């Protein structure tokens, strides 16, 4: 940490030279970086992540470099131990950090990979402060929420700006204004604006407009009270975005403006839309992005030519999203968190991207494998054109997942296995094709006689795993002339791709020769070690049977859908319509 303004006298007594505590990261230049801070009021779940990422996209499309950061109030160090029922799926960054699903929203809309400095929790911040206290980093000071914890927040934000050379840092404060757990974040950001000075920080407040059906009118009182809490914390918003079902009425906008000291032309309606992918363009049409540019004085950094080109590309994608689809297919997703769609949010988004690019109306049904007996799996899947078995942990529902794989393989239904779904495909193939009926995983059966899926001692040494997972981006060597090579657009001789992993168990190399001798193709491997990472069946055996030990859904982007999902959806369209002539579809499954 850079030097502090606190010093020690020779006698050991502390003197305080200044009330300002501004630890600065190396290389930080005041005024070089700008900040947009997004708060939520009234209630959680307003879509702060979609709002912030859409606004960040608008600025990035103008040629500015942007870096988002999500500030979480919980004391967990990361999201790795959180149940999907608490915060949705765990999104894994390329550097291996496990975060919440909002980071996925930023990566998809900005089309850029984020890193651990783009995510902070209260647990991380408190641990950093206490580690510094233990090492004498505060020169004998009594360590307090203000200035030390708030100082650490400011340091992390500025450090992100330097490390990612950001013109604009977008800061999303988790939770709702008024929550105890994010109060220190709000104070830190108030201090940040004070220290950075005018035209360097823009405060945006997202609020909720209630529309009771029995009254038939918009009510703004809850929004007024929520914004009042922000004002009480010393934060004057520069602009306000209102969430509502219908467009914000003029009278409602005037009330919000009056009671928040925000000009009416900076109160924007973020009402419900047919697709979140129309939000960035709607922001531009309403002038929200221009307002931010004006507030931060960034007019001279806007690249009009780049902005126009990016806007054309995005409008083309919007057209694909909102147009009538030429095809229809039904896809079953057989998982055990089916009651909560957010548990598989990235799979949902990956299918959305493919549906737009292939003009397919995808009916994705979430099937809870814990509610289905393995013997009934085939009947449950009989009307579907494709099957996905997603990732997961624990023994619950695994035999039904294996039965789902068997149905897809034997009935030649397009199949995509993700992480655990990859492992289930290996076990199913070993049992019902290779004849190893007791094939299993030591994750579920520690003393299995034939553990085709296992944690191997040599792999622990190779990867340095110990008891932890393989996390983050890893290289995958793709086999020549394989389906995987064609999907990824690699040359005939194959090549290397990069995917994101989150798992502990692997295919035991002792069984690879037997599996391959019976027709299973391991078309993706670790570049140096016998670690299997992609499997497939030849087209002569099955129209589309693919599995990845990684999570391909984490890398699907609106303008660049993931090839494994594109192949699956194209195969599902062909399954639904054997006479399909659409070259956009056929190109993925030839």
Q: Which residues are catalytic?
A: 419, 551, 553
Tokens of 457: 């001692």
Nearest of 189, 135, 170 to residue 53 by alpha carbon: 170
Distance CA 442, CA 138 (A): 48
Q: Kind and range of the H or E element at 158?
A: helix 150-163
Helices (H), 394-545: 398-410, 420-432, 457-463, 483-487, 512-517
Cis peptide before 587 (omega within 30 of 0): no
Distance CA 133, CA 402 (A): 52
In order, the DSSP letters of 361-386 are EEEEEEEEGGGS-GGGHHHHHTT-SE
Whether residue 386 contacts residue 417, with contact meaning beta carbons closer than 8 Å, is answered with no
Tokens of 459: 């792999």
Tokens of 51: 């709002």
| Helix (H), strand (E), coil (C) string for 173-206 | ECCCCCCHHHHHHHHHHHHHHHHHCCCCEEEEEE
- Residue 66 phi, psi (nearest 5): -125, 150
Distance CA 408, CA 286 (A): 48
CB atoms within 10 A of CB 381: 22
Residue indicated by tokens 């007024």: 224
Whether residue 255 contacts residue 220, with contact meaning beta carbons closer than 8 Å, is answered with yes
């Amino acid at each position: 940490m850079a030097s502090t303004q606190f010093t020690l006298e020779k006698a050991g007594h502390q003197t305080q030279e200044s009330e300002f505590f501004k630890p600065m990261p190396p290389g930080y230049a005041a005024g070089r970086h700008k900040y947009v801070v997004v708060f939520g009021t009234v209630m959680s779940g307003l879509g702060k992540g979609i709002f912030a990422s859409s606004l960040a996209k608008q600025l990035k499309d103008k040629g500015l470099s942007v870096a988002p950061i999500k500030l979480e109030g919980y004391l967990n160090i990361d999201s790795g131990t959180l149940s999907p029922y608490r915060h949705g799926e765990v999104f894994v960054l390329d550097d291996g950090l496990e975060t919440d699903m909002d980071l996925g929203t930023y990566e998809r809309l900005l089309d850029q990979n984020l890193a651990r400095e783009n995510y902070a929790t209260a647990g991380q911040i408190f641990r950093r402060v206490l580690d510094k206290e233990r090492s004498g980093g505060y020169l004998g000071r009594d360590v307090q929420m203000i200035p030390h914890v708030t100082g650490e927040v400011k340091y992390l934000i500025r450090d992100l700006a330097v490390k990612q050379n950001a013109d604009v840092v977008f800061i999303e404060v988790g939770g709702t204004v008024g929550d105890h757990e994010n109060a220190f974040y709000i104070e830190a950001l108030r201090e940040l604006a004070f220290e950075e000075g005018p035209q360097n920080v823009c405060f945006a407040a997202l609020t909720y407009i209630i529309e009771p059906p029995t009254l038939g009118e918009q009510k703004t009182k809850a929004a007024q009270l929520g914004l009042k809490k922000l004002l009480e914390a010393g934060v004057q918003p520069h602009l306000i975005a209102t969430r509502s079902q219908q467009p914000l009425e003029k009278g409602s906008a005037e009330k919000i403006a009056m009671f928040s000291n925000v000009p009416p032309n900076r109160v924007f309606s973020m009402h419900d839309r047919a697709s979140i992918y129309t939000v960035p363009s709607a922001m531009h049409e309403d002038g929200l992005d221009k307002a931010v540019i004006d507030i931060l004085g960034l007019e001279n950094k806007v690249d009009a030519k780049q902005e126009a080109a990016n806007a054309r590309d995005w409008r083309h994608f919007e057209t694909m999203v909102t147009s009538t689809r030429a095809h229809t297919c039904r896809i079953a997703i057989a998982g055990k968190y089916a009651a909560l769609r957010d548990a598989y949010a990235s799979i949902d988004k990956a299918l959305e991207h493919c549906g737009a690019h292939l003009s397919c109306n995808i009916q994705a049904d979430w099937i809870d494998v814990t509610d289905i007996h393995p013997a009934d799996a085939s009947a449950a899947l009989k009307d579907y054109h494709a099957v996905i078995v997603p990732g997961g942990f624990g023994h619950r529902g695994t035999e039904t997942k294996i039965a789902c794989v068997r149905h897809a393989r034997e009935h030649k239904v397009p199949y995509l296995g993700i992480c655990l779904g990859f492992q289930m495909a290996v076990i199913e193939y070993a049992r019902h094709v290779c004849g190893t009926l007791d094939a299993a995983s030591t994750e579920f059966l520690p003393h299995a006689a034939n553990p085709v899926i296992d944690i191997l001692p040599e792999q622990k040494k190779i990867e340095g795993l110990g008891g932890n997972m393989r996390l983050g981006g890893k290289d995958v060597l793709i086999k020549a002339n394989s389906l995987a090579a064609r999907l990824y657009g690699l040359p005939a001789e194959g090549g290397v791709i990069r995917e994101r992993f989150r798992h502990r168990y692997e295919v035991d190399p002792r069984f690879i020769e037997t599996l391959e001798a019976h027709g299973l193709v391991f078309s993706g491997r670790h570049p140096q070690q016998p670690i299997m990472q992609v499997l497939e069946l030849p087209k002569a055996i099955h129209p589309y049977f693919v599995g990845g030990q990684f999570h391909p859904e984490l890398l699907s982007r609106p303008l660049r859908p993931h090839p494994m999902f594109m192949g699956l959806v194209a195969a599902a369209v062909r399954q639904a319509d054997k006479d399909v002539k659409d070259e956009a579809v056929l190109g993925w499954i030839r």
